[in-house]
Every structure is written in C-alpha cells, then in structure tokens.
Amino acid sequence: MADIDNKDQAEIDPADMEDVEEVEEEETGEDENSKARQLTVQMMQNPQILAALQERLDGLNGSPSGYMESLPKIVKRRVNALKNLQVKCAHIEAKFYEEVHELERKYAALYQPLFDKRSDIVKAAYEPTDEECEWKADEEEELTVSKQDEMKEKAKLEEEKKDEEKEDPKGIPEFWLTVFKNVDLLSDMLQEHDEPILKHLQDIKVKFSDPGEPMSFTLEFHFEPNDFFTNTVLTKTYKMRSEPDESDPFSFDGPEIMCCTGCAIEWTKGKNVTLKTIKKKQKHKGRGTVRTVTKTVPNDSFFNFFTPPEVPENGELDEDSEAVLAADFEIGHFIRERIVPRAVLYFTGEAIEDDDDDYDEEGEEADDEEGEEEADEENDPEYDPKKDAAPPS
C-alpha cells in the first residue's frame, strides 16, 4: 500500500465512524451482515480510511504490548519452543528459494533462444518473415478511421523521406537506448554523453551461477565495435545469499544481494566519459602569482554502474556507499526481472503505459463507485442526509 505524503488527508472523519456505528446498532440478522459487508467494501475503497489504516499498521511495528514480559516462566518456555520452530521454518524457506533459483536457471535456458532471436533482429543479423511480423492488435488497441488515415499519411511521408535519403535502416536502431530512456529508474542514470555509446548496445543477457556454486547472477551488456572502448561485453555480477543470519534468523525474507562486482572498461584515449578534466586557478600566497592547474575528477555517467563501491571484509560502509549500493542492487534486480524479459514492451512504452493505466483505472473506478454510492443513498427512502453532515466544530 502506498505511503501517503499528506497525513492530514489520512484522518478519518469522526462523523463517518459514527455513521458506521449507528448502522451496526440499527440493523439486525442478515440485513446487518449484508450492510456490514457493504460498509467494509466502501471503507476499503476510501483512500482516506485506507491511509489511516496503513498509518496505524505501520505504527504496530516495533511497539510490543508488553504482554510477553508478564507471562509466567513456563509459558515463556513454550514461546521459546515456538521461536525454535520459526528458525526451522526460515531454513526451509531458504531451501525453497534455492530451488526457485534452480528453476530460474532451467527456464532461462528455455527463454534464451527467443532472446537470441530478439537480439538478431535488433542488430540486423536476421530479417523476420512477413508471418513473424504480423501482429493483430486487441480490440482496445484498434485505431479509429481518422487515426488510421493519419497514420497512413505519416507512413507515406516517412517512405518518401526514406526514398530521398536512399537509406534503409538496419535492424531496430537505438533499441536498448530507447528502453533505458523510457524507464525512469534507468534514465536517471543517463547523461547526454552516455547516449552515443549506448547506441552501440546490442543486447543484455542474464547468466545464472552454475549448479553447486554460490547463488549469483551476471548481467552481460553486449556492444558492437565502437570508438569509445575495446570491450565487446561489459559485465556486472551480483552475489546473493539465501540462508538465515545466525545472529538474526527472524530477519530472513528471501535471497538478498550481498555484494556486486563490475569490470574494467578499456576506454579509448580521450573517450572515458566517467572522468572529466577541470582547470583551477591557484594563487601563490607569497608572490601573488597565479597558475592554472588541470585536474581529472569523476564525472556522472551510466558507466559508473560498472565500478560499484567495494564492500570491505567487515561489511561496514559509509552512508554514501550504502546508498549507492542500495540503488545499485535495485537497478540490477530490475534489469534482471523486468527489462531483459520484457524489453520490447519497454521499448514501445506499453509496459509503462500498463502500469499507469492500472493506477488511473483504480482511481476512476473508485470515483465511479463513490458516485454510485451517493446516488443509491439519495434514492434510499431511509437515507438521512443529516447523518453525513460533519458535527459542528
């Protein structure tokens, strides 16, 4: 459930709660149960009530009732037995996630031929057949006649432009760059000087660790030959752990990324976008003379992704490094789970539009239902508008 920024909006109107109590007292039998269910549904569709409930639920964390301390020793002893059972549950859960990882590895091998063909189409190594290119849009996606005419006219102009240029684009130009620019999490990392390089990105692959090896996955970024670096593949490996921490077994909540390692980028001279040269003027304290000093300093770039902060053996990091690693883990997981499997939908924007539509539809449904409820209340002969009036302050 989403957090609510404005806590004032999360307040429950006391009048609403009074109405609920009055209805519960007046209704009896099946009517009472039916009304109660209806009221529950209405309350759960009210964003203010949901926000208030979430705020109360959030407040439950870390606030024990103190009941445990009041228990007799014999009862506390039994609770300890339950906690030992919980630890065993955590170890079984760890085994479950290990088997999930094995399944991911198995199905990754089944997906890979499809992803390889996708890559071949993108980089123009394979031209799909007419049958493979045929796509029947859903009814909801069908365009109006006017829109179709507009599209045809646009296509005609594009064809004429192509004839003038006498150039046939190969594959799908800037496929991965467009994917990155369409996703906020990734576009935030992009700088203008990164884009010419990412135009040469031809594929992203996910490789899982071999059976019997510690759990991990590697992201492989495949580039065509370019003027920026000599590498054909840049890699980022994430090492994971799927076992409860002995010192805190109850914190286990599935596999967690422990650390990640990048790779050395063999930059062409003068093309390293992760560094920039700045000039500073320095004044001599005694003589008063001024000299210009040239320094090389780090520069914002997507390619800093391949040089993450190193985690020391003691596991302690400063706040900045922790923040960078936390963001890095989120990005790596997102690329693995969402971008690679559904790249074409992020290229077209459909994956993003689907997410946006979900939120819009929920809001519209809520508005429609609220309107229907108001109409039903007004048509109800027992409806009393005074009950909905806020009490005088």
Which of 41-55, 222-236, 312-326 has the least mean pLDDT? Answer: 41-55
d(CA 236, CA 169): 31
Please give the pLDDT value at position 280. Answer: 85
Q: Which residue has the higher pLDDT, 86 or 378?
A: 86
Helix crossing, 29-44 with 14-26: angle to 10°? 160
Decide if pLDDT at 144 tops 60: no
Model pLDDT, residue 164: 55
- Compute the distance between CA of residue 65 and CA of residue 315 in angstroms, rounded to an integer: 34
381 vs 254, higher pLDDT = 254
Element (H, E) at 202: strand 201-208
Mean pLDDT over the full length of the chain: 76
Higher pLDDT, 221 or 282: 221
Cβ–Cβ under 8 Å, residues 186 and 180: yes
Q: Is the pLDDT score of 214 beyond 90?
A: no
- Residue 19: per-residue pLDDT: 41
- DSSP single-letter state for residue 229: B
In the predicted structure, residue 136 carries a pLDDT above the cut 60? yes
Residue-wise pLDDT for 241-261, tens only, equals 877 877 778 777 777 778 899
Residue 6: what pLDDT? 43
**Residues 83-117 pLDDT 10s:** 899 889 988 888 888 888 888 889 999 999 999 99
Q: Is the sign of the CA dihedral 52, 57, 63, 65 positive or negative?
A: positive
The average pLDDT across 63-69 equals 76
Tokens 């559904």, residue?
342
**Cβ(94)–Cβ(249) below 8 Å:** no
Residue 183 pLDDT > 60 = yes
DSSP codes of every residue in 127-192: PPPHHHH-----GGGPPPHHHHHHHHHHHHHHHHHHHHHT----S-TTHHHHHHHH-HHHHTT--G
What is the pLDDT at residue 237?
95
State percent of the chain over pLDDT 90.
36
Cβ–Cβ < 8 Å for 226, 194:
no
> CA of 57: how far to CAs of 9, 18, 44, 63, in Å?
17, 22, 14, 11
Residue 204, beta-bridge partner list: 221
Give the Cα separation of 111 and 340 in Å (integer).
11
> Over 90: is that where the pLDDT of 68 sits?
no
Question: Distance between CA 92 and CA 318 in Å, rounded?
Answer: 34
282 contact partners, CB below 8 Å, separation of at least 6: 290, 291, 292, 293
Tokens of 347: 């290229």
What pTM, to 2 d.p., does this model score? 0.65
Q: Is the pLDDT of residue 391 over 50?
A: no
What is the average per-residue pLDDT within 215-223?
A: 95
pLDDT at 132: 92
CA distance 270 to 283: 29
**Alpha carbon distance 214, 239 (integer Å):** 8
